[in-house]
Structure 1
């Protein structure tokens, strides 16, 4: 299976969706623990939730493989992104701390090197190529990294996660104008709680490619899943909830496009 699906758009905007994949390699498929078998830490339905960006004219990049094979939003050297509990390039535990693999069935170092070479590298090469194309065509590029997570995971954060979690690498990955424009969209509604650079400040993709001084602005959005789907298996899509959430996501994307234009 190819490592990703990519559609080129006409706007200076790339939407990256690295964690919606469910494809497994034979080694990972054979080794998953019972708790991991249902792929609980997947960003379920995110391509469907953001399908509207295609109509806007954005480029879209969607990873095909499960994060249990390799996490596309972690650095290749597997250095931790957070000082608090987290998961790595090759997740050894689920978000709740349960082992990802049955005892003695973790993929070999050689297999994982293949995942790095044939899944992680192509995804990031595609990001780099598309950002370069957008900069060449428009003079600048915008990167929106789309994620979701269960609203309650005690190992990762206390209590219930805010509904909308905006990450800008503590303000380093985009301009103040972009941050303020997105905050204005959030402040204009009362249905969803929100925070900027809270528990989720942006993963490797946001941190690596968000370089406003170089003409690339990046924002990560981590959504609490209960606002568009069921958080328990079989993780069903909920159309009514999703449609309501899209009433905030669409103006947020438009605000990013508007505020991201160079002065």
Structure 2
């Protein structure tokens, strides 16, 4: 199995999917404890959820589970949210703060470095290549980073997560018009709640690749999983529930696509 799959399209939109993979090499899976082997923190069905919503969108997806290595963490291991509970480059606990490794089986620093080279680096090499390709074609690229998470996780945040959590690192990772366009759809979506730059402000991927001055924009969408699936094992996709959500996601992606193609996002003086 490839650690990363790329579906190339001709749109200015790239869908990043770092956490939908469920593959864990056998020798690593056996070192996870029973809790870890449930793979509960997967962005379940994220590829299926976004499939077909925007013709021509490029998709870059990691097939490796985040317990092997988290493709949305700083490769240097720097925390995304200093002072708050979060998980690390190779998680030691799940989102509930419970250990995921058998006693004495957590990876060493050397092993983490090896996994970073084998699984983290290829995903980001593919993502960087697609951003460069798309920008060369259109003069601009928008990385839309696709995520989902259980609605209630007291270890990470208080209360129930809104349906839509939009992250731009407080406006730093994209043109203001991109964030405004996404907010307009999400905040007006009937029966759904939304927040911008709340608990989730965008992960390492969004912060690293979001360079508006270079015509490279990034925005993260964290979806509450109750909007499209059952939030407990066996993590069942619920098509009727998902269709209501997909309608809004389709509008968001088409709006971003039209905005990028309009030329208003392209800035002169790009040095790349």
Settle same-fold status: TM greater than 0.5: yes
Paired positions, count: 262
8 Å contact kept, 2:166–2:196? yes
CA positional deviation for 1:244: 0.8
Deviates more, 1:103-112 or 1:170-179: 103-112
CA positional deviation for 1:114: 1.9
Aligned to 1:72: 71
Aligned to 2:7: 7
CA positional deviation for 1:19: 0.2
Distance in 2 (alpha carbons) for counterparts of 1:115 and 1:192:
38
Please show how residues 50-129 of structure 1 align to structure 2 within 5 Å: 50-53=50-53, 55-83=54-82, 84-129=84-129
CA positional deviation for 1:56: 1.4
Long gaps (5+) in structure 2: 265-272
Aligned to 1:31: 31
Distance in 2 (alpha carbons) for counterparts of 1:85 and 1:20:
22
8 Å contact kept, 1:229–1:242? yes
The DSSP-based 3-state class of the residue aligned with 1:56 is coil
Distance in 1 (alpha carbons) for counterparts of 2:187 and 2:159:
22
The DSSP-based 3-state class of the residue aligned with 2:130 is helix
8 Å contact kept, 2:12–2:260? no
Distance in 2 (alpha carbons) for counterparts of 1:213 and 1:9:
24
CA positional deviation for 1:123: 0.5
The DSSP-based 3-state class of the residue aligned with 2:37 is coil
Aligned to 2:269: none
Aligned to 1:185: 185
TM-score when normalising by structure 2: 0.94
The CA deviation string for residues 87-108 of structure 1, in whole angstroms up to 9 with x for no partner, is: 0100011000000101111133
RMSD of the alignment, in Å?
1.1
CA positional deviation for 1:10: 0.8
Please show how residues 1-263 of structure 1 align to structure 2 within 5 Å: 1-53=1-53, 55-83=54-82, 84-261=84-261, 262-263=263-264
8 Å contact kept, 1:27–1:107? no
TM-score when normalising by structure 1: 0.97
CA positional deviation for 1:113: 1.9
CA positional deviation for 1:2: 1.3
CA positional deviation for 1:126: 0.6
CA positional deviation for 1:169: 1.0
The DSSP-based 3-state class of the residue aligned with 1:205 is helix
Distance in 2 (alpha carbons) for counterparts of 1:243 and 1:20:
19
Aligned to 2:270: none
Long gaps (5+) in structure 1: none
The DSSP-based 3-state class of the residue aligned with 1:35 is helix
Distance verdict in 2 for CA 1:187–1:110, change over 3 Å: closer
The CA deviation string for residues 89-139 of structure 1, in whole angstroms up to 9 with x for no partner, is: 000110000001011111333332221111100100111111111111111
Distance in 2 (alpha carbons) for counterparts of 1:235 and 1:227:
12
Distance in 2 (alpha carbons) for counterparts of 1:115 and 1:187:
39
Distance in 1 (alpha carbons) for counterparts of 2:76 and 2:106:
19
